[in-house]
């Protein structure tokens, strides 16, 4: 048996036996199409057949789709579509039930095998965040705090910030939490803050404009 075929068989045995495999992390968005793309090594040898498998988080393994001779000849349901010569598995209406390990195995002309293993995590869409500014004047300084949050208490959401003064370009802030604080001279106001709430699959932005140190929520 050729070494390449032998190694591929060992990898497939590990996949179905539950042993640790090196895989690529893929993020998908719920209620949307999710595309899983195989990264087969480039080869001048034509691909004859591609098999897509799913190992769910509860340990079950299922054959999702079989692509052979340029067409899909078998698939678990109409949710699964195969494109780009078998290299792409498209999942319709993705949900968290689709989380888990996926394996694609391609049979080359002449009997060689190549494969790829992916781990899919499906996330819910990010809600539009609420941004609440607060200010407090002390002497010739203005203490500014801006809070960014989403309507639901979600542990998978992170925050990044940008700000700009007057008509200058936005600058990225190092703060990554839901609240930022800074102290600026009174004559340095007219500031805009942009909060981006995001997870690995989606993001939403919201902005607020602080023109002066009066007239909005006080710290």
Dist CA 36 CA 118 (whole Å): 8
Q: What's the pLDDT score for residue 17?
A: 46
| Whether the Cβ atoms of residue 88 and residue 103 lie closer than 8 Å to each other | no
pLDDT in tens, 105-142: 999 888 888 889 999 999 999 999 999 999 999 999 99
Q: What's the pLDDT score for residue 43?
A: 64
Dist CA 53 CA 32 (whole Å): 20
| Whether the Cβ atoms of residue 5 and residue 111 lie closer than 8 Å to each other | yes
Q: What's the pLDDT score for residue 110?
A: 83
pLDDT in tens, 153-178: 778 899 999 999 888 999 999 888 99
Q: Which of 22, 10, 12, 4 is nearest to 63 (CA)?
A: 12
Dist CA 97 CA 93 (whole Å): 11
Work out the average pLDDT over 78-82.
Answer: 95
Using alpha carbons, list the distances in angstroms from residue 47 to 2, 38, 110, 190: 18, 13, 10, 60
pLDDT reading at 205 higher than 50? yes
Range scoring the smallest mean pLDDT among 47-61, 135-149, 157-171, 189-203: 47-61
Dist CA 130 CA 60 (whole Å): 41
Q: What predicted TM-score, i.e. pTM, was given to this entire model?
A: 0.78
Question: β-strands 100-108, 47-56: how paired?
Answer: antiparallel
Work out the average pLDDT over 171-191.
Answer: 89
Owner of token pair 């769910």: 56
Work out the average pLDDT over 167-193.
Answer: 90
For the record, the structure tokens of 135 come out as 């200010």
Dist CA 54 CA 60 (whole Å): 8
Work out the average pLDDT over 177-183.
Answer: 93
Range scoring the smallest mean pLDDT among 35-39, 58-62, 171-175, 183-187: 58-62
Residue-range domains of the chain with CATH: 3-123 (2.60.40.10), 130-210 (2.60.40.10)
Q: Average pLDDT over the chain, rounded to whole?
A: 85
Q: What's the pLDDT score for residue 10?
A: 40
């Amino acid at each position: 048996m050729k070494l390449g075929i032998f190694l591929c068989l060992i990898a497939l045995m590990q996949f179905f036996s539950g042993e640790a495999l090196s895989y690529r992390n893929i993020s998908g968005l719920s209620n949307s199409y999710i595309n899983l793309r195989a990264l087969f090594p480039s080869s001048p040898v034509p691909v004859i057949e591609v098999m897509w498998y799913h190992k769910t988080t509860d340990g079950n393994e299922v054959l999702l789709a079989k692509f052979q001779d340029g067409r899909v000849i078998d698939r678990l349901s109409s949710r699964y579509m195969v494109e780009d010569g078998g290299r792409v598995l498209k999942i319709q209406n993705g949900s968290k039930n689709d989380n888990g390990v996926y394996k694609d195995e391609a049979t080359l002309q002449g009997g060689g095998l190549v494969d790829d293993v992916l781990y899919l995590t499906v996330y819910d869409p990010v809600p539009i965040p609420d941004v609440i500014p607060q200010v407090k004047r002390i002497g010739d300084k203005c203490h500014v705090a801006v809070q960014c949050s989403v309507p639901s208490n979600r542990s998978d959401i992170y925050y990044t910030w940008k700000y700009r003064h007057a008509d200058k370009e936005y600058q990225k802030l190092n703060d990554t939490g839901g609240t930022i604080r800074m102290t600026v001279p009174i004559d340095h106001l007219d500031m805009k803050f942009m909060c981006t709430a995001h997870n690995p699959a989606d993001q939403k932005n919201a902005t607020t404009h602080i023109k002066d140190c009066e007239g909005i929520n006080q710290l």
